[in-house]
Amino acid sequence: MPKKITSTPEYNLKTIILIPLFLVLFFGMCSGKTRQEVEQWFNETAGLSAEELQYRKYFKLADCCYGKYEFENSIKNCEEALKYKNDSYMMKAAICLNLYEIGEDLNVKIDSERENKLKTYKKLISIAEEGIKINPNKGECYFMRGLGYARLSTTEGVISSLFNAKKIELDWLEAVKHDSDYITPSGEDLQASGYLALGVYYRTCPSFFLISLLFGISGDLDKSVEYCDKAYQMDPTRIEIVKEYGISLITRGLDRNKPEDIERGKAFLNKVETLPLRMKTDSIDKEHSKMLLKDITLCPGYSRDQQQEISEQAFKSK
């Protein structure tokens, strides 16, 4: 059983020796670090206990592996970090993020991969619940649990989506009610992701009376635009956020015959092309934005999953 880490720093010879060793390790494993970044890390860790240093070392290594799409290795480093700080909700959230990426890489059309995909999302949900128990006042693991249910439902089909939709909504509402501390190496703020997820949810959720009565869910285009805007205020250069905000505005404009919403939405879709690539899905989102600008009637009901093959064909033809 690992010792529980206290907030009291321990100034000892072991700590002094470990710091330069960790610096060497980071130069080897994360060669993209600048001298200034390493010096900042040195200043931040000076005086910390040996156990806290070990925790931070493996946290950094997990981030490095995630940034290189080495998701299994990232999980291994997260698990090592938990040996030194077993009450870290952020490590639980980081494991969930890696499991999500692993699940996304599995092909639902291949039976064996589909089965592994379902197992991966179920494990994600379980780990997220552990993180919520550790700290129910932080948003990361609520967001990840909702994401797990969302991807599990998408993989299982429409009926599962309807039965899980309320759980997903409640988890994401809980996520944005609390602060989130974790930011991925690509700069993804999980609180902004929670707002974005709600924006997409309220745009794509059915609003038929009977479905609302049976499952307690309902789409709402005003809420969709509102939550997309909150995500945009937090991160106005994230391609996924800008794209989805534009889609929600256009969808509301088409639904209510509001040309001003449509024009604003088009402006956001045009902005996507000007933004730098940061995340794994950014290239495909750029292609989708071009496709949607050519035919805005595709915006209502749009999801990246439904358009993936069309967009990949368009990308490969260039």
- For the stretch 212-261, pLDDT in tens is 666 667 789 999 999 999 999 999 999 999 999 999 999 999 999 999 99
Q: Where are the domains of the chain?
A: 1-84
Contact 250, 278 (CB under 8 A): no
Using 50, 70 and 90 to split pLDDT, how confident is the model at 115? Answer: very high
CA 243 to mean position of chain CA atoms: 16
248 near 265, Cβ under 8 Å? yes
Task: Say what the pLDDT of residue 153 is.
Answer: 87
User: pTM to 2 decimals?
Assistant: 0.80
Nearest 5°: the CA angle 234, 239, 240 is 85
Per-residue pLDDT for 274 more than 60?
yes
Answer whether residue 189 shows pLDDT above 60: yes
Each residue of 116-130: pLDDT tens digit? 999 999 999 999 999
Q: Which of these, 229, 136, 152, 140, lies nearest to 188 by C-alpha position?
A: 140
Distance CA 163, CA 41 (A): 46
Three-state SS annotation for the chain: CCCCCCCCCCCCHHHHHHHHHHHHHHHHHCCCCCHHHHHHHHHHHCCCCHHHHHHHHHHHHHHHHHHCCCHHHHHHHHHHHHHHCCCCHHHHHHHHHHHHHHHHCCCCCCHHHHHHHHHHHHHHHHHHHHHHHHCCCCCHHHHHHHHHHHHHHHHHCHHHHHHHHHHHHHHHHHHHHCCCCCECCCCCEHHHHHHHHHHHHHHHCCCCHHHHHHHCCCCCHHHHHHHHHHHHHHCCCCHHHHHHHHHHHHHHHHHHCCHHHHHHHHHHHHHHCCCCCCCCCHHHHHHHHHHHHHCHHHCCCCCHHHHHHHHHHHHHCC
Highest mean pLDDT among 14-18, 30-34, 197-201: 197-201
Residue 134 has pLDDT above 60, yes or no: yes
Cβ neighbors of 33 (< 8 A, separation 6 or more) are 26, 27
Q: Summarize pLDDT for 156-175 with one digit per residue, the tens.
A: 876 666 778 889 999 999 99
